[in-house]
Amino acid sequence: MSAQYRKLHDHFKRISHFEHFNNLGEWDLCTMMPDGGSEGRSEAMATLSSHIHEMRTEDWLSDSIQQAMQESLPAAQQANLVEMQRQVSQASLVPAKLVAAKTKAAFACEHAWREQRKNNDWQGFAPNLTGVIELAREEAQIRAEALGITPYDALLEKFEPGMTTDKLEQLFAPLRSELPGLIQQVVDKQAGEPNTSLTGKFDTAAQEVLSRKVMALLDFDFNQGRLDVSSHPFSCGVPGDIRITTRFDEDDFSSSLMSTIHETGHARYEQGLPTDWQGQPAGMARSMGMHESQSLFYEMQLARSEGFLGLIRNDINQAFGNDYSLEQLKHSFTRVNRGLIRVDADEVTYPCHILLRFDAEKALIDGSLAVKDLPEFWNANMQQLLGLSTQGNDKDGCMQDIHWTLGELGYFPSYTLGAMTAAQIRYAMEKQLGSLDKLMSNGRIKEIFNWLSANIWCKGSLMSTDELMTSATGEVLKGEYLLTHLKQRYLG
Amino acid sequence: MSAQYRKLHDHFKRISHFEHFNNLGEWDLCTMMPDGGSEGRSEAMATLSSHIHEMRTEDWLSDSIQQAMQESLPAAQQANLVEMQRQVSQASLVPAKLVAAKTKAAFACEHAWREQRKNNDWQGFAPNLTGVIELAREEAQIRAEALGITPYDALLEKFEPGMTTDKLEQLFAPLRSELPGLIQQVVDKQAGEPNTSLTGKFDTAAQEVLSRKVMALLDFDFNQGRLDVSSHPFSCGVPGDIRITTRFDEDDFSSSLMSTIHETGHARYEQGLPTDWQGQPAGMARSMGMHESQSLFYEMQLARSEGFLGLIRNDINQAFGNDYSLEQLKHSFTRVNRGLIRVDADEVTYPCHILLRFDAEKALIDGSLAVKDLPEFWNANMQQLLGLSTQGNDKDGCMQDIHWTLGELGYFPSYTLGAMTAAQIRYAMEKQLGSLDKLMSNGRIKEIFNWLSANIWCKGSLMSTDELMTSATGEVLKGEYLLTHLKQRYLG
């Protein structure tokens, strides 16, 4: 390690130590903290965040990284320098004043939105959202000028390094054209099948035992992580200690179980990141889309497959004293319904929710869509994509998500990038390992995790997304595998 | 607020924000963290601690505090400056190199001690302890020279600002002379009473419910705190969020209950500190002795009294389906036994354990006692104070406590200062409120908490310990009240 590189290495390691507490503070806030702790925690988090921001924007960093890049360092160290530079420039782009204004507006908007959404109060919400969107535009503009790209691309860059609107349009084009028809075919097909919804009362303690069993089957290491309860499931953590949360609903075990499996996918990626690179930018997850690909691989590719449901059928039946057949479970876990709510959507209709938001975001940022026209835009697109109306029902329309209230634009595409990536990974994996269903029913599920570990997790950010996909699957991301998968599972 | 004072105020507020995470990191480590998180947590805590240390020793601080002290500021701000100066000088006194050497030696000593104690392995332990004590002497010497006091007084100063060996000798003198005889009288008296130990199997879930009920009775605010389980009970927290832990033993509910009540006393002090001074040195607890006084007031003065046991008797009986009489509970919770273990000691014999350690610490620091002679010293003093031998049983003698393994000398006196303070507070309170037993049986327990809140808690560190005691009880700390209390309760 050169002296120059060593200095940078140690600095980023120190940053990761402060991020450790950022992470812990957030987790505790969502799972353990009593209400009385809110004010103290938010003040402490603000000080910590600004300290981390200062560390990422110290004067000497950019020059030092540039100098280290001139040295002849091993490829992995060079990759680490690239990621350091990305962090530094991402942190330096936006003036502190704008960051503070954004945080303040987002806090007020989100806080009021909790009630406004319940009350379907678009008129109350619109002015707050307008303020947040204006600041997001300002941020996008500043980032765009600094990076020499378009404003919306500059927002994408925060979550998906290297991704552009043009690439997304290309990737999403087949979904746009084929999905509405495909959904109709699936719905028609399933209309002829028996109603198999798994209704009843499901003891939440038994649900938790089941969750832990399934997590263990998915190789989650409880010596290196935890499962807890929070109002919205999430995953987070630090090296050696990756934590996920879930929620239990007495009337519905299946959505809780699938959400636990989803978060387990996120967690396994984090648990599998390269230990030699802990605390370094190159040791982190590649992108948000890649992160979603792991959670969706677990939830969609694995957990809703016949092979996997066969593995957990006995556990489910034991937990609740039922006698579901494999057929019943399969039907229930692959049921397709057109609905208004993104987070409740199945994997076939889900991309429609993303296409709608992607189009809206682009237009909100380039100014061609005004916030006041959002309800109409939403309704028109929902009609076209899913044949559903949100007229007068904004709480289940353009007010349903938390992302925009927080000023977070540019994130939504990551969900569908994740679904596409998961499908592509699965086909690549099957070329090498054979049918995953067979593998699972033969008790060889660990080979799946070993493949992910060797080809995705242990790579961290040591390669670009394109390089990572090429090294893992033989080609860069292509949209077609998701459609192939959906047709195979739902129409096959 | 003057500009000079404001700058200091904001700096210490920022320090408190980093201390927030130090606190959370420790709590999580003891209650929630899986084993796999150890390495990452300890690295992150080290970075955080050294950052806090740097903030407390920044070059400009001492001069700035001195300048602010010249301004004509309100008394409370002046008190805050005094506490700031204390923090800065305490942090600056010891060179970073010595701190690091101490941390390293303590870690190794404590780690090995866990096994060595179990195995009664004095020969293995002695060299490690010698290393730790040598560093403690070095620290004491450096502190002593800087402060112009004796080395042991310099260690006392860390925990009890203003306390000296001479004052302690004076305070402890009546205990030294009267306690052995008093213990004999109590033991003789209790020998004639029926054996009332509360034996049986006690469901731990029922114990937890009981603990929460009793905490609520003690006005613990669960909206501003938590109860959890850890292997050693402790209390900690941040403004608005004070957390305690306990442990449950199926064979013995009473020690767990009393330990929960003890920690509740610590927590109520923290919950009652002045909110206007949150994050400022003057807003913190006055001293470790004052902290112990609150936990001991709760555990000894309140919880083992007839009035309080009367309040919780039904809850205890309901919890375990027993039918203990008030007499039975009272006998059991005030049973006196000479024993070898400090943490298991009753309030009558406890000060003997402290006198022994106080004498040993002084001698270890001034060099008149060598580590190799500690077992003999211990045995001789235990014989004299409690008539018990530790010959060949060092694990229950000089190896029983964690304090010295961590290099923490000068803390033990705080326990007995706390017991004395609690007794003095109780008599002062009774002068104003009348008998606490009567108050409690009349359903007026809250008046006790109101008194503590108004006279102790809300004062934080805005006064010196002597001023605080004088304002609350009409006189500085006197040793006699503890003896009066013990005679009244155990021989009355």
- DSSP labels, B66-92: HHHHHS---HHHHHHHHHHHHHHHHHH
- For the segment B38-74, what is each residue's pLDDT rounded down to a tens digit? 999 989 999 999 999 999 999 999 999 999 999 999 9
Tell me whether residue A263 is one of the annotated catalytic residues. Answer: yes
Poorest-pLDDT segment among A258-272, B37-51, B255-269, B349-363: B37-51
For A49, half-sphere exposure in the C-beta direction (CA atoms, 13 angstrom radius) is 14
CA separation for the pair B434, B447 (Å, rounded): 11
Beta-strand pair B241-246/B225-229 = parallel
Q: Please determine, for residue B449, whether its predicted confidence score (pLDDT) is greater than 90.
A: yes
B329-to-A109, A160, B111, B304, B492 alpha-carbon distances in Å:
56, 66, 39, 9, 17
Which residues contact residue A401 at a Cβ distance below 8 angstroms, ignoring those fewer than 6 apart?
Answer: A342, A357
Q: Give the mean pLDDT of chain B.
A: 96
Which residues contact residue B437 at a Cβ distance below 8 angstroms, ignoring those fewer than 6 apart?
Answer: B305, B306, B307
Which residues contact residue A227 at a Cβ distance below 8 angstroms, ignoring those fewer than 6 apart?
Answer: A208, A211, A212, A215, A243, A244, A245, A246, A260
A239 contacts chain B (CB < 8 A):
yes
| The token pair that represents A445 in the structure block | 């599920």
CA separation for the pair B51, A146 (Å, rounded): 33
Which residues contact residue A144 at a Cβ distance below 8 angstroms, ignoring those fewer than 6 apart?
Answer: A150, A151, A153, A154
Find chain B residues with C-beta within 8 A of A43's C-beta.
17
CA separation for the pair B278, B13 (Å, rounded): 8
Contact between chains at B20 and A40 (C-beta distance less than 8 A):
yes
Q: What's residue A231's pLDDT?
A: 87
For B240, the 3-state DSSP assignment is coil
Q: Which residue of A has its CA nearest to B43?
A: A17
| The token pair that represents B374 in the structure block | 């500690």
For B107, half-sphere exposure in the C-beta direction (CA atoms, 13 angstrom radius) is 8
Q: What are phi and psi of B244, to 5 degrees?
A: -120, 160
- For the segment B142-177, what is each residue's pLDDT rounded down to a tens digit? 999 999 999 999 999 999 999 999 999 999 999 999
Q: Which residue of A has its CA nearest to B19?
A: A44
First to last CA, chain B: 54
pTM above 0.80, yes or no: yes
B11 contacts chain A (CB < 8 A):
no
Q: Give rounded-to-5 percent helix, strand, coil for chain A.
A: 70, 5, 25
CA separation for the pair A212, A391 (Å, rounded): 42
**Residue B407 region, left (φ>0) first, then alpha (ψ -120 to 50), else beta?**
left
Contact between chains at A39 and B221 (C-beta distance less than 8 A):
no
Q: What's residue B234's pLDDT?
A: 94
Q: Which residue has the tokens 């109590």?
A: B186
Question: Quick check: A45 and A23 in contact, CB under 8 A?
Answer: no
- For the segment B226-247, what is each residue's pLDDT rounded down to a tens digit? 999 998 899 999 989 999 999 9
Cα angle for residues A150, A153, A154 (degrees, 5° grid): 85
Q: Walk along chain A (492 residues) in steps of 10 and give the mean pLDDT of each run.
A: 96 98 95 94 92 96 97 97 96 90 90 94 97 97 96 97 97 96 97 85 97 98 96 92 96 95 98 96 98 98 97 97 94 96 96 98 97 98 96 97 95 98 98 97 97 98 98 97 98 92
B47 contacts chain A (CB < 8 A):
yes
Find chain B residues with C-beta within 8 A of A18's C-beta.
44, 47-48, 51
Find chain A residues with C-beta within 8 A of B241's C-beta.
33-34, 36-37, 40-41
CA separation for the pair A456, A474 (Å, rounded): 13
First to last CA, chain A: 54
Say which CATH topology domain B150-199+261-492 has.
Answer: Neurolysin; domain 3 (1.10.1370)
Instruction: State the sign of the Cα–Cα–Cα–Cα dihedral A224, A230, A234, A236.
Output: negative
Average pLDDT rounded to a whole number, residues B181-188: 97
Find chain B residues with C-beta within 8 A of A26's C-beta.
none
Q: Edge to edge, what strands does the sheet with B225-229 contain?
A: B225-229, B241-246, B235-238
Q: What's residue A281's pLDDT?
A: 98
In this structure, which amino acid lies at residue A287? S
- Residue B194 — very low, low, confident or very high, per pLDDT cuts 50/70/90? confident
- Residue B461 — very low, low, confident or very high, per pLDDT cuts 50/70/90? very high
In this structure, which amino acid lies at residue B414? S
Indicate which of B45, B227, B241, B277 best probes the interface with A, i.e. most A CBs within 10 Å of its own CB: B241
Average pLDDT rounded to a whole number, residues B442-452: 97
Instruction: State the complex-level ipTM.
Output: 0.93
B162 contacts chain A (CB < 8 A):
no
Question: Quick check: A61 and A49 in contact, CB under 8 A?
Answer: no
Find chain B residues with C-beta within 8 A of A28's C-beta.
24, 28
Contact between chains at B48 and A18 (C-beta distance less than 8 A):
yes
How close is the nearest chain B Cα to the Cα of A299, in Å?
A: 25
For B228, the 3-state DSSP assignment is strand
Question: Quick check: B266 and B291 in contact, CB under 8 A?
Answer: yes
How close is the nearest chain A Cα to the Cα of B219, in Å?
A: 15
Indicate which of B13, B21, B54 best probes the interface with A, i.e. most A CBs within 10 Å of its own CB: B21
- Residue B195 — very low, low, confident or very high, per pLDDT cuts 50/70/90? confident
**Strand partners of residue B226:** B243
**Total length of chain B:** 492
Q: At what angle do helices A374-386 and A122-147 cross, to 10 degrees?
A: 90
Contact between chains at B28 and A25 (C-beta distance less than 8 A):
no
Find chain B residues with C-beta within 8 A of A227's C-beta.
none
How close is the nearest chain B Cα to the Cα of A43, in Å?
A: 7
**What proportion of chain B, given as a percentage, has pLDDT over 70?**
100
Contact between chains at B240 and A28 (C-beta distance less than 8 A):
no
Q: Which of A14, A40, A278 sits opposite B47 (nearest CB)?
A: A14
In this structure, which amino acid lies at residue A298? Y
Tell which residue, A222, A309, A301, has the closest CA to residue A257: A309
Q: Please determine, for residue B276, whether its predicted confidence score (pLDDT) is greater than 90.
A: yes
List the domain boundaries for chain B: 1-93, 150-199+261-492
Indicate which of A15, A20, A29 best probes the interface with B, i.e. most B CBs within 10 Å of its own CB: A20
For B339, the 3-state DSSP assignment is coil
B44-to-A490, B227, B236 alpha-carbon distances in Å:
48, 25, 19
Cβ atoms within 10 Å, residue A131: 19
For B178, half-sphere exposure in the C-beta direction (CA atoms, 13 angstrom radius) is 14
In this structure, which amino acid lies at residue A204? T
Burial (CB count within 10 angstroms: exposed 0-12, middle 13-18, buried 19+), residue A101: middle
CATH of A150-492, one of 3.40.50.300, 3.90.650.10, 1.10.10.10, 1.10.1370.30: 1.10.1370.30
